[in-house]
Amino acid sequence: RALAVCIGPSGCWVLHRVQISDLPSKELVPGDVVELHVGDRVPADMRIVTLRTATVRAEQSSLTGESVAVMKTSVPMRLEDCELQAKENMVFSGTAIANGTAVCIVTSTGMSTEIGKIQSQITAAGEETSETPLKKKLDEFGELLAKVIAFICLLVWVINYRHFMTFDILPGLPVPIPNPSTIKLDVGKMVYYLKIAVALAVAAIPEGLPAVITTCLALGTRTMAKKNAIVRKLPSVETLGCTTVICSDKTGTLTTNQMSAVQLVAAADSSQLRTWEVTGHTYNPAEGQVLNLLMMDK
């Protein structure tokens, strides 16, 4: 959703019929000439044609993870041989202009942009049904259990083969001996013992195992939710538990890409220094102000 917001519709200044017009970014097509100003969000991937100011910098930490604004230029480059960070004459969709003004030409829009490609990869990865380690172990256990149960059921059915036949006993003998001429195969008894074998197989299947596993994963999700971690899919809890190393970008992921003052040293006079410790997470300059430290001391 965050990527969709970055490539969502916004306005931009487009050179159209020898005049600059404010048009929605969704109407841009490759070849349009756009003028970008400081504070503008780049609506599409563009190549810089002319710099209207001495310098132009773009804030593209959301795309490349760079913590500082990147200097841009209008010098032509061979983009085929460059990495994304090295394309100094390009500005990318979803980034912002930190300072300066430039005239650019649109090269790609929508899902063809660099951030659009990332969203396409995330969407494709979400549609893939990747097997977790737990699912693989359960599949192996299920195959082994099915083979064992099938063998036991067949063995139980074969052991009772004597009960599959009906016959008469020869009269006048001290030991009961079946009359060979009366031996018949009883299909009803075969089906009866087959039902017993099937009932044994059903009883051996661990029907409560999926419910137990789901409950354990749900408890893990609940524990992570208490630590402000939202889990969208239950199998991801088990996958995270098996993870040993996580490779992640620092800027914007582990940090907020905002510098914060943690210590302030003020010189009251030539012979005295005052030190203040600053706590909290950054600040909003629109809501606060720096007071006179000498007045605070008095």
**Catalytically annotated residues:** 249
Q: Which of 171, 53, 66 is nearest to 101 (CA)?
A: 53
Q: Which residues of 13-45 are buried (b: 16+ CB within 10 A; e: fewer)?
A: bbeeeeeeeebebeebeeebbbbbeeebbbbbb
Half-sphere exposure of 66 (CA within 13 A, CB side): 15
DSSP secondary structure letter of residue 178: B
As a residue count, the chain comes to 298
CA atoms of 140 and 161, how far apart (whole Å) = 33
Burial of 197 (0-12, 13-18, 19+ CB in 10 A): buried
Amino acid found at 102: A
Helices (H), 7-164: 61-64, 114-127, 133-159
Amino acid found at 185: L
CA atoms of 41 and 6, how far apart (whole Å) = 9
3-state SS record for 28-49: CCCCCEEEECCCCECCCEEEEE
**Residue 236 backbone zone (phi > 0: left; psi -120 to 50: alpha; other: beta):** alpha
Contact, 183 vs 167, CB < 8 A? Answer: yes
Residue for token pair 């990747």: 130
